[in-house]
């Protein structure tokens, strides 16, 4: 009860679920990078994942749980924080915090909406029927390389993905360093560098993820 109700307890829950979601985002990027090795590589990777059978579904349920907990507690804490300052000063000047830290709940909720779109786009496969082509000799499986390369030849999805990855950059640039502070791993020597390291980690994710749709849109991957 203490963990799910107290201020620091819920902060730790946010940090731990956030860390797991961050780990997923990193592994997902590694998986995506198989696209750079051509059609065979990414289709082999996709088939490998599908061959895991029930493990995939266990993994999906865990991810759903992580998202749910992270979002529910995030919104709850934000509402409490708003209630703690019913009226603000006329003049408010911030000395240290920034746009990313002050908009965590907005970037987070927007990312949740993006994840739903992303799942409809590439997992449930309902948004763009023309890009879902069966793979040769693949027991009804879709050719992932064609799906991705054709999917990102359209401007709108590329724009949506790019904006979403900017939001991910913002979210991670505050969240990464926040994780270490929350679980008590920060001290006066790490704190000054963690802010910049956090932005760097966010930037690596941004460049890594956005490179794929942009390279496809500009015809460099085909």
Partner 1 sequence: MKLKLHVWRQKGPNAPGKLETYEANHVSPDQSFLEMLDEVNEDLVKAGKDPIAFDHDCREGICGMCSQVINGVPHGGQVRTTVCQLHMRKFKDGDEIFIEPWKARAFPIIKDLAVDRGAYDRIIEAGGYTSCRTGGVPDGNAVMISKEAADNAMDAAECIGCGACAASCPNSSAMLFTSAKVSQLAVLPQGQVEAKRRVTAMLDEAKALGFGNCTNHYECQAACPKGIDVKFIAKLNREYIKALLP
Question: Is 182 a residue that touches partner 1 (CB under 8 A)?
Answer: yes
- Binding positions for partner 1, 69-88, rule CB under 8 A: 77, 80-81, 83-88
- Binding positions for partner 1, 104-133, rule CB under 8 A: 104
Listed ranges 5-13, 49-57, 142-150, 207-215: which one lies at the site for partner 1 (CB under 8 A) = 5-13
Size, binding site for partner 1 by CB under 8 A:
43
**How far apart are alpha carbons 41 and 30 in whole angstroms?**
12
Find the binder of partner 1 among 51, 53, 54, 95 (CB under 8 A).
95
Question: Is 178 a residue that touches partner 1 (CB under 8 A)?
Answer: yes
Min dist CB 115 to partner 1, Å, is 22
**Nearer CB in complex with partner 1: 94/139:** 94
Min dist CB 93 to partner 1, Å, is 3
**How far apart are alpha carbons 144 and 59 in whole angstroms?**
20
Q: Which stretches of the chain bind partner 1, using CB under 8 A?
A: 2-3, 6-12, 77, 80-81, 83-97, 101-102, 104, 174, 177-178, 180-188, 191
């Amino acid at each position: 009860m203490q963990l799910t109700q107290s201020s620091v307890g819920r902060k730790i829950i946010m940090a731990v679920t956030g860390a797991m979601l961050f780990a997923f985002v990193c592994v997902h990027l590694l998986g995506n990078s198989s696209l750079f090795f051509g059609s065979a590589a990414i289709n082999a990777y996709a088939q490998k994942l599908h061959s895991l059978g029930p493990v995939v579904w266990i993994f999906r349920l865990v991810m759903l749980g992580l998202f749910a907990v992270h979002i529910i507690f995030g919104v709850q804490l934000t509402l409490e924080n708003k209630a703690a300052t019913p009226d603000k000063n006329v003049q408010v000047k911030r000395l240290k915090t920034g746009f990313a830290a002050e908009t965590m709940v907005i970037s987070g909720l927007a990312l949740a909406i993006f994840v739903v779109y992303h799942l409809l786009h590439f997992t449930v496969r309902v948004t763009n029927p023309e890009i879902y082509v069966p793979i040769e000799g693949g027991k009804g499986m879709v050719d992932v390389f064609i799906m991705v390369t054709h999917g990102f030849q359209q401007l709108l999805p590329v724009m949506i993905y790019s904006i979403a990855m900017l939001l991910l950059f913002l979210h991670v640039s505050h969240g990464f360093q926040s994780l270490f502070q929350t679980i008590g791993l920060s001290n006066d020597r790490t704190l000054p560098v963690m802010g910049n390291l956090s932005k760097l980690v966010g930037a690596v994710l941004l460049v890594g993820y956005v490179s794929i749709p942009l390279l496809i849109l500009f015809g460099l991957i085909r």
